[in-house]
Amino acid sequence: MMFARNTNLIYDLLGVTYFQKREIQFFQRHTWKVSCLPACLNPINSIGLKSLHSDMNSWLPDPGDTDSLSHPVEKMDSNVTARSTSQDSPLSIEYEHAMEALSSLINSKKRGEKHHKPGMGSKYKKLERMSMYIKILGLEEHIAGLKIIHVAGTKGKGSTCAFCEAILRESGFRTGLFISPHLIDVRERFRVDGLDISEERFLLYFWECWNCLRENVTEDLPMPPLFQFLTVLALKIFVCEKVDVAIIEVGLGGKKDSTNVIKEPVVCGIASLGMDHMDILGDTLREIASHKAGILKPHVHAFSSPQAAEAMEVLQDRSHDLGVPLEVAAPLDYKRLNGIKLSLSGDHQFINAGLAISLCKCWLQVTGNWKNPSENESGKHILPEAFLRGLSTARLSGRAQIVEDYSFKTCKLEGNEISSGNLTFYLDGAHSPESMEACARWFSNAVRAENTTLQLQASSSEVNNSENISGKRCIPNNEWEHNKTKQILLFNCMDARDPQVLLSRLVNICASSGSHFSKAIFVPNLSTYSKVTSGASVIPVDIPARDLSWQLHLQRMWEKIVNGRDVMLHGKLKMASAESLPSHEFLTESASCHSHENGFLHRSAVIPSLPLSIKWLRDCARENPSLRIQVHKAPVLAGFLAMELM
């Protein structure tokens, strides 16, 4: 059986940013004194933390080094199997113990189910319990000092928070960022000064929180469920790290979300609203908007992205009741970027950037740090340099991210490197109808731009010799015009979503832009509802005896959408091992044939795991060096998450 270490598998897929931003791990074990006081208020921990922070900074890249923080197109490593790591070091072992402890906090219910976990006290409501947890940890008087930016929304809130963090960090402030969900490691949810918190500092704060709360458990106040614990942990981290500003993303909804324990943020923002999480928030836009508006507070400035009329009406009514003016943040005009590009791709990011700019400007004004920008002749404000740097370096993995697979050997021909295979992944976490539309437009524009660039390169150069020194076949530039391009969909979604709506919108919008998927591959999730994994967790590449009934349902739905008729899937399509992978010829077979020969339809296939899918695609690319394979992975979050919010 093949195995892949979680870190290497997914960060190979997401590119090299993991290795660029990863903080050095220490092999010498530190002794920590655990108390119920925050680490920053404990003399022993404070001294140790300052020393550790100093040591860490000497090894870290300069946060202002944009080359090491963000790349529009990233490279994928070739190795998807296990690598040598320090997994068995004492630090890693203790980190795995922390993951086991976190896993014990996962509710036994899936999202939307009404029953409570056995033992969950009913005397106090969620936000009452959250306030009690914060008081136990000694954080109550310190939260206001975090000068919080609180952001809710259906889509774009994570990107908005990432933009805010980068802008204020570039403005000279020490930043804290709490976002969800994570792709691989839970530490991704907690950033300090633009970097995921290190394992050592995470463990320091984690065990202090854990032990303090365990010591105060009662029948009416049990240990908090996972997301509630992560929220109080984030607040503790930011208080103890003495950040100047904390940017907090709402987990789900707003009114009843764990993050709404925050009573006095500096400014609140509401990103674009749409139909999602309807099993919890309601099945109308008005109901959903009502939940999101729950984060608005008296005397706290509020901004919203442009919304549909019915949603905006709800937001305005809530702000009127609180006596707070709600300002609509206009999408960013690209002319204000002064020639730079947003680091997060897609036209929809101009909406998120516009909201982030308004939130940051307001935060700077309220805290007394705003300096009036210069104006041009027309009187229109020019963005400060720090804003431009932040907008061009903000990062958020798995959102409109392009990763080129450079695992293939290249040959040089007249100074040009030509690959023996061509495989590019387009990753996005779209999981609502509106975000899928934005995702489809981004993908179509991205592949059109790439193909246009390649055609221009082909027409501007001629190659007389197509053999390299070793005699291996290389692809002359003038053949690029004739190369085949295959656009492949790699897809899965949770069963709480409506795949009919998601797939239909994806197919229709891509088709209207000239992008047509020649094949679709459906894979099961790596995620579970019962285990929090870390970057060092080992997962099998070939997972036997997986229940693929949901993937087969998605495949049948896909075939009906693209063929216009239902397709009966036979039992022999229910694969359970790597031996059932489609042949490499499957990728180049005509889509006009719809037989079930060899247990596969000619437009789609089900593969038992994501690692096997990546390996299979790489093998296909190697065997067809003249074929450009463009893989659209959506929703990436459904495929990679350790779990969804509870």
pTM of the full structure: 0.77
Question: Helices then strands (H, E): number in the chain?
Answer: 18, 19
Residue of higher predicted confidence among 112 and 5 = 112
**pLDDT of 429 over the 50 cut:** yes
Q: Which amino acid is it at 165? A: E
Q: Residue 556's CB: how many other CB atoms inside 10 A?
A: 18
Question: How sure is the predictor about 531, in pLDDT bands with cuts at 50, 70 and 90?
Answer: confident
* More confident call, 237 vs 64: 237
Let me know: does 504 contact 452? Beta carbons within 8 Å. Answer: no
Q: Which of 498, 491, 461, 496 is nearest to 479 (CA)?
A: 461
Q: What is the pLDDT of residue 187?
A: 95
- CA–CA gap between residue 361 and residue 164 (Å, rounded): 10
CA dihedral of 619, 620, 621, 627, whole degrees rounded to 10: 170
The whole-angstrom separation of Cα 172 and Cα 619 is 47
pLDDT at 319: 96
**pLDDT range class, residue 407, cuts 50, 70, 90:** low
Q: How many CA atoms lie within 13 A of 29 on its CB side?
A: 10
What's the pLDDT band for 79 if we cut at 50, 70, 90?
very low
Mean model confidence pLDDT for the chain: 76
Do residues 29 and 91 lie in contact, with contact meaning Cβ atoms separated by under 8 Å? yes
Best mean pLDDT range from 5-19, 190-204, 361-375, 551-565:
190-204
CA 279 to chain centre: 22
The tens digit of pLDDT for each residue in 222-239 reads 999 999 999 999 999 999
**What is the model's pLDDT at position 489?**
92
User: For 473, which DSSP code?
Assistant: B
Closest-CA residue to 617 (of 418, 404, 428): 404
Q: Residues 346-401: pLDDT tens digits?
A: 888 999 999 999 999 999 999 999 986 554 444 457 899 999 999 999 999 888 88
Say what the pLDDT of residue 156 is: 92
Query: Which residue in this structure is represented by tokens 């229109």?
Result: 380
Q: Helix, strand, or coil here: 268?
A: strand
